[in-house]
Amino acid sequence: MADTPTPNPTPSPTPQNNENLVSDFSKSMSYGDYLHLDQILSSQHRLSNHHDEMLFIIIHQASELWMKLILHELTAARASIQQNNLEPAFKMLARVSRIQQQLIQSWDVLSTLTPAEYMEFRHALGSSSGFQSYQNRLIEFMLGLKKPTVLDVYGHQTELHKQLTDAMNEPSIYDAAIGALAKRGLPIDQDYLQRDWSQPYAENDSVREAWLTVYRDVDQYWDLYELAEKLVDIDSRQQQWRFNHMGTVERVIGFKRGTGGSSGVDYLKHVVGQRYFPELWSLRTVL
C-alpha cells in the first residue's frame, strides 16, 4: 500500500513588526491619558485597613460607570423614539440589556464577601448606601418609576436635586413608546398622551389594547413589535438585577437595616416584582 502523503504543517504566523510602535508620549496622547486612568485608578480610598473593602468599592464604582452608559443609551433611544425613528433605538436598547447583564453578574463577585468580612469595615460606610445612587434613580425615572419622595435624599446637593427634579418631570422611555403607538393611529386615551410625567405610571386599558393590536398583527407593526420586545428585555433584566441584589444583601447582612436606614432585604423584596411596562406583561395572558 502506498504511503499516505503527509500534509504540509501549518506555517507559523509571521512575527508582528513592531518597529513603528510608538514609545514616546511626551508630546502625544497615550492610552492612560485618553481614559484618564490616573483619576480613575486613584479613586479607590479604603476607609479601613480591611482587604475586602477594595472589592466593595470597585464593584460599586464599576456599577456606576455601567449605569452612566445605560443613561447615555436610554436618553438617545428615547429621543429617537420621540422623533418616530425607531430603528436606531433598537441597537441602543439591545446594548442596555447587555449592560444590565454585566450588572447582574457583578453581584456574583460581591457575594464572595462573607458576613464576617463585611462586618470588619461596614462601620466605615457611615450612612452612605447604594440606596442613594442618583444614577440608579435617573434610570428608574427613565423607565417610568417616579417617586417624588426619593428626592429628599438629595436636598443637600442643589444642582443634583434640580437634575433629578427635571428628570422626574420628563416623559419616560415608555411614555415615548406610547406616543409612538398614537402616531401610528392606534387609539390611546388623550390624558395618557398629555399626563403629568412626574406621576407614577398606572396601567391603562387603551395602551394594553394598542399593544395587543401590535402583537396580533406583527407584519403590519413589526417596528412597534420589535420596540416592545426590546423594552420587555430591559424590564426582565431589571427584575433579575433586583433579585440578585436582594439575594446578595441577604447573604452578606441577613435582615439587618441598610447603612442608609432602609429596611434592607425587606425593602428589596417589596420592589423586586415591580414592572415598569405593565401592559407589555398583562397582554401575554390575553393573547
- Residues marked as binding for heme? 245
- Residues marked as binding for substrate? 56-60, 118, 122, 259
Grid coordinates belonging to 19: 518597529
pLDDT digits (tens, 9 = 90+) for 21-77: 888 888 899 999 999 999 999 999 999 999 999 999 999 999 999 999 999 999 999
Q: Contact, 85 vs 135, CB < 8 A? A: no
The 3-state secondary structure of the chain reads CCCCCCCCCCCCCCCCCCCCCCCCCCCCCCHHHHHCHHHHCCCCCCCCCCCCHHHHHHHHHHHHHHHHHHHHHHHHHHHHHHCCCHHHHHHHHHHHHHHHHHHHHHHHHHCCCCHHHHHCCHHHHCCCCHHHCHHHHHHHHHHCCCCHHHHHHHCCCHHHHHHHHHHHCCCCHHHHHHHHHHHCCCCCCHHHHCCCCCCCCCCCHHHHHHHHHHHHCCCCCHHHHHHHHHHHHHHHHHHHHHHHHHHHHHHHHCCCCCCCCCCCHHHHHHHCCCCCCHHHHHHHHHC
Residue 52 CB neighbours (<10 A): 17
Q: What letter represents residue 168's amino acid?
A: M
- Residue ranges of the domains in the chain? 52-285
| Residue from 124, 205, 141 nearest 175 by CA | 141
Cα-flanking dihedrals φ and ψ of residue 47, to 5°?
A: -100, 0
The CATH class that applies to domain 52-285 reads mainly alpha
- Residues marked as binding? 56-60, 118, 122, 245, 259
| Residue from 92, 64, 61, 101 nearest 238 by CA | 101
Q: Contact, 237 vs 256, CB < 8 A? A: no
Q: Contact, 46 vs 57, CB < 8 A? A: yes
Q: pTM of the prediction?
A: 0.89
The list of the chain residues with pLDDT below 70 reads 1-16, 257-264, 267, 270
Q: Contact, 178 vs 207, CB < 8 A? A: yes
Q: How far apart are CA 42 and CA 45, in angstroms?
A: 8
Sign of the Cα pseudo-torsion (177, 179, 182, 186, in order) = positive
| Residue from 210, 157, 164 nearest 71 by CA | 164
